[in-house]
Every structure is written in C-alpha cells, then in structure tokens.
Amino acid sequence: MTETDERPGPFAGVRILDFTRFQQGPYATRLLADLGATVLKIERPGGDWDRRLRLAPDGFCGFFYGLNRGKHSVAVDITTEQGRQIILRLAAECDVVIENFRPGVMDRLRIGYEDLRAVNERLIFAAGTGYGPHGPSSGEPMFDMVAQAVSGVSDFNRAPDGTPRLATRGYADAAGGVFLALGVASALYARAVHGIGQRVDASLVGACLGLHAPEITLSLHEQKLLRPHRRVTSTSGAFRCRDDRWLVIAATDQKLWSTLCAALDRPDLAADERYGYGAIRERNRDDLEPEIETTFATRDRDEWLPILRRHGVPVGPVNTFLDLAEDPDALANGYILEQDDPRWGKQKIVGHPFHLSETPARVGEWTPELGEDTRDRLLEAGYTEVEIADLIERQIVEATDAGGR
C-alpha cells in the first residue's frame, strides 16, 4: 500500500472506546486501528503506566509506540462521577468498547457491559481476561508469564535441565490480542447481519491453548507429554555454520531427505541403511545429527543458503530483530516499515501482518500524546468549551494543546 492510497480499511467508520492497558488489549485495538477503525484510547490524567514501561535511555518507549499508533488519546478520570458521565456519552456514539481490566472493575465503576448497553443497545463490549469469564479463577489477576505457565506452554518449553521457560516475552499477550481482535471482528460481522450487539470475551489462557491445539490433542490422546527437548527431527531444526551463524532447515519427508543429502553433497548419508527412511533415521539420530552438524560447519551460513534453496530444501537464516531491518522479504511485504515521527524522527516499525487487496490496512502515522484528542472528542460529545475548561480545571480530564485527529 502506498502513502497516497486513500482506500478505506475494512473497519472504516467503526468507533472504538479503548480502555486497555499493557499488551493484550492494546495490540488488539492497534490491529483494528490499522484496519481503519477510529480508536479512542481512554487514559487516566497523568497517562497510563504503559507510557513509561521499558524506556530506552533517550526516553523512547517502544512498548507504547509499538502498541498504540494510529489511536486518539482522551484522558479521563473514570473513577469520578463526572468522568463516568463522559464515558457514557462517548459510548453512546461508539460501536465497540474494549477493556482488559481485572474482571469486575468496569462493573464497579458502573461502566460495565450492562451500564453501557443501556445507552447503546447495539454496542459490542469486548473483555480481554486472563483465565476466561467462567471458572473458579476467573476473577484472579493475570499477566503473560502466568498465562504461559497455566496453559502448559512453559512446561512444553522446559530447558534441558527441567526448568520451565517462557516461549518468548509477551507470547500470551500477543496471542490474546489477536483472538480478542478476532472476536470483535466476528461480533461486528454478526451485528451487520443480525442487527445485534453482544459481549465478547477472550483470554490469555484460551489463546495459548488455541495456538497449541495439535500438541495438546496428541498429548491428551496418548496421555503422554511430548516436549521438544531437541530438534523437531534429526533433519529439521537449527544448525550452526562455520562463521558461527545459524540457519534452520525443515527436511521433514523422504523427498526432502534426498534433496538435503544432495545439497550437502553427502551421497554416503543417502545410501546408508541406517538413515533410509524417517522412522529409522529417528532411531539413529544420535549418529546422524553429528554428521549433518559437521557438514554445515564446513561453510559459512550465506554460502549454504543459496545451495539449499537451489536444491529445494526449506531453509531460512536465524535472524535477530536487528537483521529484519535489512531483510528483503520483511521489507517487500511491509512487515518492517520506516516512518517519520514528529518527536523521534525516522523510526523502523512493525507493519501489518496480513494484506487485503481492496480494503488495505493503513499503518497509523502517529502515536498519540497524552490527552491530545480530549478537547475535540468532548466537543463532539456535546460539551461546551466552558464545560471542558471546568473539567480540566478540576482534573477530571487532561488535554494538551495539540489538535485532535
């Protein structure tokens, strides 16, 4: 998509009231913002803690910038009656409300599903939780690492010494955000077809289970834990090359075994009866893997990559996040983009993860300063300049001098 492409995204015209914090919820609403929705991010005066999380030495908050681009910041103290009234007026004109507070918080503030539905019966109310809406632990607090533990992901990724490990930082949060956005998209479609609003619930634990459906199903069937302590197979996994750089191959079937042997110029392995087919290769993997490792150690990684590709072996370099800035496929697909930020200058950012040919996603060109849209959104909701000035004076809301978007 070019910078001049003015085609609307699929959710153009959809207004979202966003109460989310940390990663699960903000990632969901950022995806929906990229897809054209107008997202009003509700923050407390003074700003959400997310704006100060994992700051770089120069003060840049990649955590906040990576999750909140393209949104509009409205700073409101929702714990006050005046703040609650503001939310009711905004919700009356919105299509979706999304929150990921601890279960019950929105209800205690009297801006929960039933409260907001009373002012907007077609409203979609989406809640991102830890465990899910039901069960004995449904009201417990939850963070990414706890979700990975509860869902079995940390056990599945145990270190060789038996220590449970995270799959990666933010794994459950990111997956939870995707499923939360999918739930909202499904509810918007249902409303368009059936004319009804509804409540959506998505959880961190549920997302982790969903992403591991094949492994969990197999384990439950066999009543056996099948943890990947080694490479996936003797011929599928990461191998170190002569220059101490790594690549990953996936030679999973018999045809690929033959092409791998040809690429490695190891006809002796192809002819060895111990490695004749998959099951016997795995029984003899303690002999086979050192042979493959030794062969890869004879060339640099960038020598091996074209050889393996020429032979049709699925292969890729083990990139760092820094390598992605120069990766031709990541750049060609818009997965990594460069943007001009008014405060931080040119920044490399993550683009949108999929493409739509006729209603393309548009990566937001800004990350909002705290309260920069408060004044404009309150004016739209029917507040006068005098009323807004009074709300600012009493610290019910916070507004910057920046114009809204």
Q: Which of these, 150, 167, 137, lies nearest to 205 by C-alpha position?
A: 150
Q: At what angle do helices 24-34 and 171-194 cross, to 10 degrees?
A: 50
d(CA 320, CA 315): 16
**Bridge pairing between strands 15-18 and 38-43:** parallel
Write down the residue that tokens 């959400």 correspond to: 48
What burial class does residue 116 get, using C-beta atoms within 10 Å of its C-beta: 0-12 exposed, 13-18 middle, 19+ buried?
buried
Q: How many helices (H) and strands (E) does the chain have?
A: 18, 12
**Candidate list 18, 50, 144, 173, residue with the active-site label:** 173
Sheet containing 15-18, strands listed edge to edge, beginning at the edge strand earlier in sequence: 199-203, 124-129, 96-99, 15-18, 38-43, 72-76, 397-398
**Alpha helices by DSSP H, 100-163:** 105-108, 113-117, 144-150, 153-156
Among this protein's residues, is 173 annotated catalytic? yes
| Residues with catalytic function | 173
